[in-house]
Amino acid sequence: MIELAVAIAVVVVTTAAIWIGSGWLEDASARLATYYQLPPVVQGGIIAAAGSSFPELASVVFAALAGSFGLGVGAIVGSAIFNVLVIPALAVLVPGRDMNSTRTLVHKETLFYLLAVVVLFLTFALALIYNPIDGTLSGQLTRPLAAAPLLVYVLYLFLQWQDTVDYTETPPTSGIEPRKEWGWLLAGLLVILVSVERLVDSVIYLGEVADTPDFLWGVTIVAAATSLPDTLVSIQAADSEDHVASIANVVGSNIFDLLVVIPFGILLLGAAPIDFGIAAPMMGCLIAATVLLFVTLRTGLLLTSREAYLLLGAYALFVVWVFAEAVALVSLLPN
């Protein structure tokens, strides 16, 4: 009982530490990108996305090293669901204002995000088809399969670059001390690495105590913990009435998570099993969540408080279902 209480306390403390470390990392990354006068496509598509997604990246790496790649994949899929349902809702409800959208954001960014979901789903399916694990619904993800999502992310960067090819503005660099910013960046990385490593260990222990799949804990607890930095960024942008940036942060971070973070884990390990019987329904939930966000953003190009509560309600139903599966109240997942 004491060990269980300690594990829960570690989850709470490490979640707070991830939030703090991510703040240091993202702020320092943004200032360094400005100081070195990097073009917008690099700042947004690589620097900002990698900074906000570093907790998810660390969770995949540490889960894989602990022999639980499914927990890492669950964290990414769960984080993506959290991002598209909870973050936009909070970005409306916390400032207390409806959030404007644009056709470009809806038609380009959100649709490309749907493409990213489909590409990752097909990658999982190809692992089951070409590298099946006998007697199970699992398949072996390999480095050649991981290359496909990465190539799609290169396409995303190319499209972003095409939109900013005429960029000529030189951002001001006065007042930025690069050595100091590098120090904050390294400090943020260290805090995130230590916190995520402890968080993953604690979640694996909780899964063993409850006798439930690691994937289900990753898709809820780890996902929510690693998504808190993105939540803060989007709420701050919405509070400053930069509504496009608030939603674009969510979409860009999710695209990076799905097309880069999971393949990176495979490239690091060489190969890892994926339970398609669990991953496929979760990817279905992610597609449904993305379509719901797409519809709410497109209706009147405005996300209202009523629609925000609809998004939160959908996430609450998802969490209730996942934990009902975990305690065997329902058995929709072939586990």
> Where in the chain are the domains?
2-166+175-326
Residue 38: its pLDDT value, please? Answer: 67
Mean pLDDT over 247-269 rounds to 86
Length of the chain: 335
Task: Give the β-pairing of 302-303 and 99-100.
Answer: antiparallel
- 214-244: pLDDT as tens digits: 777 788 888 888 888 778 778 877 887 777 7
Residue 43: its pLDDT value, please? Answer: 61
Residue 178: its pLDDT value, please? Answer: 83
Rounded to the nearest 10°, the torsion over CA 202, 60, 291, 139 is -110
- 297-319: pLDDT as tens digits: 888 888 999 999 999 999 999 99
Residue 44: its pLDDT value, please? Answer: 57
pLDDT tier at 53, thresholds 50, 70, 90: confident
For the ranges 58-67, 125-134, 208-217, 226-235, the lowest mean pLDDT is seen at 208-217
- 3-state DSSP call for residue 141? strand
Residue 18: its pLDDT value, please? Answer: 86
Is the pLDDT reported for residue 122 higher than 90? yes
Q: Which of the listed ranges 99-113, 160-174, 184-198 does the model predict with the highest average pLDDT?
A: 184-198
Measure the CA–CA gap between 308 and 151, rounded to whole angstroms.
Answer: 34
Is the pLDDT reported for residue 2 higher than 80? no
For residues 292 and 216, which has the higher predicted lDDT (pLDDT)?
Answer: 292
| 121 alpha-carbon distance from chain centroid | 15
The domain defined by 2-166+175-326 folds into A middle domain of Talin 1 (1.20.1420)
- 158-181: pLDDT as tens digits: 887 776 665 555 556 667 888 888
Is the pLDDT reported for residue 116 higher than 70? yes
Residue 232: its pLDDT value, please? Answer: 78
Measure the CA–CA gap between 123 and 325, rounded to whole angstroms.
Answer: 25
